[in-house]
Chains A and B, each alone.
Chain A
Amino acid sequence: METFGHLAHGFSVAFTPVNLMWCLVGTTLGTAIGVLPGLGPALTIALLLPITYQVAPEASFILFAGIYYGAMYGGSTTSILLNTPGESATIVTALEGNRMARSGRGGAALATSAIGSFVAGTIGTMGVAFLAPIVVKFALSFGPAEYFSLMVLAFITVSAVLGSSSVRGLTSLFAGFVIGMIGVDLQTGQPRFTFGTSELLDGVDVIIVAVGLFAVGETLYMASRRYAGKDEIVPLKGSLYMTAAEWARSWRPWLRGALIGFPIGAMPAGGAEIPTFLSYAIEKKLSRHKEEFGTVGAIEGVAGPEAANNASAAGVLVPMLTLGLPTSATAAIMLSAFQSYGINPGPLLLTTQADLVWGLIASLFIANVILVILNLPLIGLWVRLLKIPAPQLYAGILVFATVGTYGISQSPIDLVILYLLGAAGFLMRRFDFPTAPVIIGMILGPLAETQFRRAMTISNGDWTVFYRHPLSLTLLTLAFIGLVGPHIWAYVERRRLRGPEHVPGDA
C-alpha cells in the first residue's frame, strides 16, 4: 500500500509545470523519431546526453522516458503505413498492420495500436510501480558475487538467446567489452587499451559509440542498398474511430499482450522481440477470424503485439531501476545518464532518490495520456513526417551526429572514432551482427568487472565464491543453459527430423 503513497508523491513531482513541459517535449520528440525511419530512441537519448549537465536529474529522466515511450508509439505508425519497421519491436506490427492499411483499414490499425499501447503502457507502468519495491527487497541481499552472476545471465540472454545467432551476438557483446575497457582502470589507475595516446585516457564516450553504430552505420547501410527497392507509403484511409466490432476484437488481445510483455520485459533478459512474436502467435491461434491473418490483415495481430511491445518496454525499467541492469541499448544509455549524475542505480535508488524514481514513474503515466492524444487526433502530422525524402533525412541525421560528437571535446579524433565505428556498424548490418549488445557490453561490462573484482577481493582470491553461493550458482546455471540449451535443442530436433528422411534414400 505504501506504493500509493509513493506514487502520490511522484505525481506531485511530475505535475510541476517544468516537468510537464519536459514530458511533453519528450513524448513529442519520441513520437517524431519513432516515426522517422533511421532514428531510434537509443540514438536520440545518446545525442541528448549533454543535457544532463544542464538540468536536474528528474527533468532529464522525464525527458528520456518520454522519448522512450514515444518512440514505441511512433514506431507502430511507420510499421503500419510504410511496412518498414523502425524498431525491431515493431516488426510484428508491420505483418498485419500494413496489410490492414492496404485493405483500407489503416485508421483502425493505428487506433488499435495507439489505444492498445496506452492500455498496456499503463498496465506496464503500474507493474513497475508495484514490482520495483518487491525486487528491491529481494536485491538487498545480493552480494558482489550475485551481482556478477546476474550480469553474466543478462549478457547471455541479450546476446546469445535473443537474435539469430549466439556466436554473432556474443561477438558484438565482446566488442562492447573492449570499448568499455578503454581508458583508465578506476580501481588501479592504470591506462588500458589506449595505444599510448592521451585522447583515449578518458575512454570512448557512449555518445560516439551509439551515434557511430546507429547514425553513421545506418546511413552507410541505407546508401549501399539503394537498389533494394523502396516501400510505398500507404495513404491513410478509414476512420480513426474503431467500430464496436473492432473494440470487441481488440480489448482481449491488449490485455493478453500486456500480460505477456511486462513479465518478459521485467526479466533480466529483456528484449521486445520475444513477447511480440509470442503475442502474435497466441492471437493467431485464438482468433475467430483466422482467414484475415496474412490476407487483409487481422486487427488482433496488431492489438496484441503492440500491447506486448509497450508493456515490455515498461518492464525493462524494473531491472534498470532496481538492479542497475540495462537489457536494451536505450536502457544502457539511460544508465550512463545516471552515471553522469553520479547516481548508482541499484536497490538503494528507490529510497535515496525517491523524488527521481517516483517522479519518473508518475511521469510515465502522464506520458501515456499525452501520447494517446498525440498519436490519434494528430496522426496526420506524423504521416506528413513520413514524407521527408531519404536524401535530406539521412544528411540531416549526420549533421546532428556531428553536433553530438564533435561537441563533446571539439576533437577531430572523436570524429575519426565515430566514422570507424560507423564503418563497423555498416558491416554489422550487412553481415547480421546485432548492435544493441555492443552498447550493453560497453556500459555493463565495466560494472560487471567491478563486481567481479569486489567479489574476488572479499573472498581473498577464491574463485569458488561464484558457485558456493546458491543464488549465484543458480544464476550461472541459468546462463549456461541459455547459452548451450538452444544448441542442444536444435541438434536433437535436427536428428529427429533427419532420421526418417535418410532411411528411404539409403535403402
Chain B
Amino acid sequence: MSTSNQQATPSRLAVPELSIGIGLLACAAAVAWQTLAIPVSPLYSKVGPTVFPYITMTGMVILSLLLIVAALRGGWQPEEEKETPTDWKAMGFVVVGLLANLLLIQPLGFTAASVIMFVLICYGFGSKRPLRDALLGLILALAAYFGFARALGVNIGAGFVENQLNTIINSIISMLRA
C-alpha cells in the first residue's frame, strides 16, 4: 500500500526509448569501425589522432547502456509528449517537400524547387490555398535568391527561373543604357 506512488509509474519496457539506446550503441560501433580505419603513424603513437575517438566511443557505449537501462525501467519521454498523437500526415507532407527540394534543386534550380517545397509544407501544416502559397513561395524564394544570397555573396546556382529573370534584367539594363 505504501508503494502506491511508485505504482503510478509502472516500470514497463519502453520500445521507442529502447531503440534510441540501441541506435546509439550502433553509432558507437560505427565510431569504433571508423577509428580503426584511421592509419596511425608510429611518430604520434603517444597521443595520436585515435585517442579522442576512443574516449568518445567509450563514453557513447556507457551512455547508450545507461539509456537502455532507463528504457527497460519505463523510459523517460515526458507524459505530455506521449499523450500528443503524432500528426503523421502533416509530417509526411513536410518530408515529401524536403525530398522534392533535394531531388529538384539541381535540375530545376533553387527558386522552382523552393516553390514546390513551400507549397507542400504549407499544405502539410494545414493551409488550404496552394495557389496563393505558390505565389508567396515564389516571392520569398526570389527575395532569398536576390537579397539574402547575393548580399552574403553566396552562390546557390541558377536554374530555369533564375536564368529567365537574369535575361530579363540584363535586357532591361541594356535597354536603359540604350
Query: Are A431 and B122 touching (Cβ within 8 A)?
Result: no
The distance from the CB of B149 to the nearest CB of chain A, in whole angstroms, is 5
Q: Does A195 contact B (CB under 8 A)?
A: yes
What residue in chain B is nearest A182 (Cβ atoms)? Answer: B34
How many chain A residues sit at the interface, stated as a range, is 35 or more
Q: Does A353 contact B (CB under 8 A)?
A: no
Q: Does B46 contact A (CB under 8 A)?
A: yes
Q: Does B52 contact A (CB under 8 A)?
A: yes
Expressed in whole angstroms, the Cα–Cα distance for A175 and B20 within the complex equals 13
Query: Are A50 and B154 touching (Cβ within 8 A)?
Result: yes
The distance from the CB of B19 to the nearest CB of chain A, in whole angstroms, is 10
B33-72 contacts to A (CB < 8 Å):
34-35, 38-41, 44, 46-49, 51-53, 56, 59-60, 63-64, 66-67, 70
Segment with Cβ contacts to B, from A84-92, A164-172, A266-274:
A164-172
Expressed in whole angstroms, the Cα–Cα distance for A416 and B113 within the complex equals 15
Expressed in whole angstroms, the Cα–Cα distance for A5 and B43 within the complex equals 50
Q: Does B161 contact A (CB under 8 A)?
A: no
Query: Are B90 and A223 touching (Cβ within 8 A)?
Result: yes
Q: Does A16 contact B (CB under 8 A)?
A: no
Query: Are B63 and A174 touching (Cβ within 8 A)?
Result: yes
Query: Are A392 and B84 touching (Cβ within 8 A)?
Result: no
- Given A54-B152, A395-B137: A190 and B121 interface contact (C-beta under 8 Å): no
Of A188, A392, A504, the residue contacting B122 (CB under 8 A) is A392
Of A168, A195, A403, A422, the residue contacting B144 (CB under 8 A) is A403
Given the complex, which residues of A lie within 8 Å of B48, measured CB to CB? Answer: 188
Q: Quick one: CB contact mask for B125-152 with A, threshold 8 Å, 1 for yes?
A: 1110000010011001100110011011
Expressed in whole angstroms, the Cα–Cα distance for A418 and B23 within the complex equals 19
The distance from the CB of A227 to the nearest CB of chain B, in whole angstroms, is 5
Given the complex, which residues of B lie within 8 Å of A178, measured CB to CB? Answer: 27, 31, 56, 60
- Given A167-B66, A188-B48: A219 and B94 interface contact (C-beta under 8 Å): yes
Query: Are A410 and B155 touching (Cβ within 8 A)?
Result: yes
The distance from the CB of B41 to the nearest CB of chain A, in whole angstroms, is 7
Query: Are A407 and B20 touching (Cβ within 8 A)?
Result: no
A24-78 contacts to B (CB < 8 Å):
48, 50-51, 53-54
- Given A403-B110, A407-B152: A188 and B76 interface contact (C-beta under 8 Å): no
Of A226, A390, A400, A427, the residue contacting B148 (CB under 8 A) is A400
The distance from the CB of A163 to the nearest CB of chain B, in whole angstroms, is 12
Given the complex, which residues of A lie within 8 Å of B95, measured CB to CB? Answer: 220
Q: Does A262 contact B (CB under 8 A)?
A: no
The distance from the CB of A427 to the nearest CB of chain B, in whole angstroms, is 7
Of B53, B105, B126, the residue contacting A406 (CB under 8 A) is B105
Of A165, A187, A223, the residue contacting B91 (CB under 8 A) is A223
Query: Are B154 and A403 touching (Cβ within 8 A)?
Result: yes
Expressed in whole angstroms, the Cα–Cα distance for A192 and B39 within the complex equals 9
Query: Are A165 and B76 touching (Cβ within 8 A)?
Result: yes
Expressed in whole angstroms, the Cα–Cα distance for A16 and B110 within the complex equals 37
Given the complex, which residues of A lie within 8 Å of B76, measured CB to CB? Answer: 165, 168, 431-432
Q: Does A139 contact B (CB under 8 A)?
A: no
Query: Are A392 and B136 touching (Cβ within 8 A)?
Result: yes
Expressed in whole angstroms, the Cα–Cα distance for A185 and B35 within the complex equals 12
Expressed in whole angstroms, the Cα–Cα distance for A267 and B171 within the complex equals 59
- Given A193-B34, A406-B105: A391 and B122 interface contact (C-beta under 8 Å): yes
Given the complex, which residues of B lie within 8 Å of A216, measured CB to CB? Answer: 98
Given the complex, which residues of B lie within 8 Å of A192, measured CB to CB? Answer: 34-35, 38, 49, 53
Of B59, B105, B125, the residue contacting A390 (CB under 8 A) is B125
- Given A170-B59, A416-B102: A228 and B152 interface contact (C-beta under 8 Å): no
The distance from the CB of A48 to the nearest CB of chain B, in whole angstroms, is 7
Residues of B within 8 A of A (CB): 1-3, 16-17, 20, 24, 27, 31, 34-35, 38-41, 44, 46-49, 51-53, 56, 59-60, 63-64, 66-67, 70, 76-78, 81, 84-88, 90-91, 93-95, 97-99, 101-102, 105-106, 110, 113-114, 117-119, 121-127, 133, 136-137, 140-141, 144-145, 148-149, 151-157
Residues of A within 8 A of B (CB): 48, 50-51, 53-54, 165, 167-168, 170-171, 174-175, 177-178, 181, 185, 187-188, 190-195, 216, 219-220, 222-228, 389-392, 394-396, 398-400, 402-404, 406-408, 410, 412, 415-416, 419, 422, 427, 430-432, 445, 449, 452-453, 456-457, 460-461, 501-502, 504-506
Taking A402-B117, A403-B149 as known contacts, 11 extra A-B pairs with beta carbons closer than 8 A to each other, sorted by chain A number, are A165-B76, A171-B67, A187-B49, A192-B34, A195-B34, A223-B91, A223-B121, A226-B90, A227-B84, A402-B101, A452-B52
